[in-house]
Amino acid sequence: MKLFHSHASPFVRKVMVVAHELGLAGHIALLPSAVHPVKRDRSVLVQHPLAQVPTLIDAEGNSLADSRVICEYLDALAGGGMFPKDGAARWRALNEQSTADGLLDAALLIRYELTARAESERSAAWIEGQTAKIESALAWFEERAAGFGERVDIGTVALACALGYLDLRFSDIAWRDDAPDLAAWFATISERPSMQATRPPAG
């Protein structure tokens, strides 16, 4: 398998954490990409019309895009383990993944606003609105963090990658100050080999 990636992408990191947890990381070759919100990377575009990372090319040459699709594909390939099969546990994990991904979407939209637009084109109201989504998502997770325990599934992995991205790109958001339970949980899960192996370089 091959994966178009960016070292700083939290969605790529989510895929690779899942791959490590499932024992599949060694079967994935990482392909460089230059994906940008305005300029499309044609090497990725020829594989998938969205030209985004992560994009996975499977052993048969089929292309899959979107971290949620890729993670579920890897889980099926490995015989399961990261996606609870049914009942309340499944909906809890999927809802956590969706909320963590939404937090990331808001963070990335701020990042693009600050890096892909000229300063004169930036919208303070837009940034404020996306920041509010991040803050409400963090508060939602803080209410639940004490119950995470040692659970490692697609919900907690997505959250860990989202928090890691905040630390990487938004160090000015002192999220730990208002989320002590979440901070304690994140410190623990960050020590897992899968998280250590996928930690993006600073800068």
Indicate the helix (H) or strand (E) that contains 178.
none
C-alpha pair distances (Å), 147 with each of 28, 37, 52, 67, 93:
33, 37, 34, 25, 13
Encode 141-158 in three state secondary structure.
HHHHHCCCCCCCCHHHHH
In the chain, how many domains are there? Answer: 2
**% of the chain exceeding 70 in pLDDT:** 99
For residue 108, what is the domain's CATH number? 1.20.1050.10
What's the CA gap between 91 and 193, in Å, rounded? 26
Residue 54 contacts residue 15 (beta carbons within 8 Å)? yes
Position 7 scores a pLDDT of 87
Could you tell me if 121 and 154 lie in one domain? Answer: yes
- Domain assignment present for residue 91? The answer is yes
Q: Is the pLDDT of residue 9 over 70?
A: yes
Could you tell me if 68 and 156 lie in one domain? Answer: no
Q: Range of 123's domain?
A: 87-197
What's the CA gap between 17 and 10, in Å, rounded? 10
- Domain assignment present for residue 203? The answer is no
Q: Is the pLDDT of residue 202 over 80?
A: no
Could you tell me if 73 and 94 lie in one domain? Answer: no
Identity of the amino acid at 140: W
For residue 20, what is the domain's CATH number? 3.40.30.10
- Domain assignment present for residue 202? The answer is no
